[in-house]
Structure 1
């Protein structure tokens, strides 16, 4: 009985602590009011965050059509800063679609983007080609209907912990989203410390890193380079917790680094450059791909990247003295039974990481 009471007390204490982390409020407003707030600069959409706005024209058009026929709009979530302004946390695609259709959405330069016209409106074919103004402008009654449609705004208020914004964003976006997990992670880092995301992107544009990873333009567009930089940092600097899956590890790890006031970006950037300069000079594009008879025969291997990122960094000084040994070490790695067993098909990401970290540090020693 005493144990049950203690357990109940522990749960209640944890619930109170978790609730204290988030201070929330919310109310409904018209779309017209939301657009007015945006035009006054009272709701912010980070330029980096806005880059992820990529609904197709059909998706945007169906959303506008849905509002006109009366389908309820899911709520958006914002963070309220100390000056009372809002930062969009969730609802990017919906809000950006409304702003773009109205012709008020601003790009990175601050200039208004070209207003879109509707296309593919299956339930109201007469809306095809409709715009807010000019040729094919919506009739006034439909404009008023769109302006007056209501949307609920959930507000994460000032006083919430620094981690609350990215926690909220991740919980809202980890299921059924059009964003990749790395793009969600990018938004989380921006919310924790935008300058840290800038730094990650700087590392991902390092020439040696780009040369040896040789990512496709599509992979770069979807933040693949930043994801690899995060793997390098997190696997080397953040201790793994048993309850995390691989995504949790990267999510929690990178944000903990972003929020760590003692994290030395200058020193870590130098080490990053040294590691990938060494890898690129010794191996080039063969670094993270299987090789046979002097030719690359496999695609990019995350397991190989993780092993080298961990092993070379851990033994940087020794390898730098004899960089020629790295080629032989990598060749041995591909044929090593432990590496093959823990990186093959069907091996869970977390299992791979738990095994690959000690393996890499020892193998490249």
Structure 2
């Protein structure tokens, strides 16, 4: 038995505990509110343009993806390869703060706004093309691509949001193991 555990009903959770995570003590782990939403690329880009998405929160790094990596993302969408989920945090005003997925969302924005020319030398029909150069069928495939958004509720404390950001960017699972 762990002698540091003063309450035998307390459950020890691997990776959570110690002084550095004291803020979790006031916020029970079972009450972190994250909902799942599905949106198209077109819908998300429209919301970004309206200012409903915060693309530059303090904790987020700048846009750093090189054009070849951006091109591979667009190629993946055109090939209908499912994308990883996006993490957003709702703020008090109802805006969506990008927690994880800035590079991908920025790539979509750049491409659809014709600010990115694809670098895909192995794909002759796509290489050096802007969005406007694609057939309507391929443009629709990009705009209709379904994105899975995990939205952290506005009621979740800032420390928990930052912890979630650290976890999704370091590969640490968000769910505890039993």
Taking only aligned residues, the RMSD between alpha carbons, in angstroms, comes to 2.5
Q: Is the 8 A contact 2:37 2:150 kept in 1?
A: yes
- More strand per residue: 2
CA distance in 2, matches of 1:93, 1:141: 25
Partner of 2:153: 157
1:228-267 pair list within 5 angstroms: none
**Structure 1 portions without partners, runs of 5+:** 104-113, 177-365
1:64-75 pair list within 5 angstroms: 64-75=74-85
- More helix per residue: 1
Deviations 1:18-37 (A, max 9, x none): 222x2111111111111111
Partner of 1:126: 125
Pair 1:19-2:30 in alignment: yes
CA distance in 2, matches of 1:121, 1:159: 47
- SS class of match (1:11): coil
Choose between structure 1 and 2 for higher RCO, CA contacts under 8 A separated by at least 6 residues: 2
Deviations 1:134-182 (A, max 9, x none): xxx1111000111111010100011101202110110011249xxxxxx
1:91-110 pair list within 5 angstroms: 91-103=101-113
- SS class of match (1:126): coil
Q: 1:48 to 1:129 in 2, by over 3 A?
A: farther
- SS class of match (2:10): helix
CA distance in 2, matches of 1:50, 1:98: 18
**Structure 2 portions without partners, runs of 5+:** 13-24, 173-178
CA distance in 2, matches of 1:47, 1:80: 12
Q: 1:58 to 1:49 in 2, by over 3 A?
A: farther
Q: Is the 8 A contact 2:56 2:62 kept in 1?
A: no
Q: Is the 8 A contact 2:60 2:99 kept in 1?
A: no
TM-score by length of structure 1 reads 0.40
1:164-313 pair list within 5 angstroms: 164-175=160-171
Match among 22, 28, 35 for residue 45 of structure 2: 35
| Residue 121 of structure 1: how far off its partner (Å) | 5.1
Partner of 1:286: none
Q: Is the 8 A contact 1:81 1:158 kept in 2?
A: yes
Q: 1:48 to 1:18 in 2, by over 3 A?
A: closer
| Residue 125 of structure 1: how far off its partner (Å) | 2.7
Number of residue pairs aligned between Structure 1 and Structure 2:
155
Deviations 1:286-340 (A, max 9, x none): xxxxxxxxxxxxxxxxxxxxxxxxxxxxxxxxxxxxxxxxxxxxxxxxxxxxxxx
Pair 1:61-2:60 in alignment: no
TM-score by length of structure 2 reads 0.78
CA distance in 1, matches of 2:50, 2:94: 13
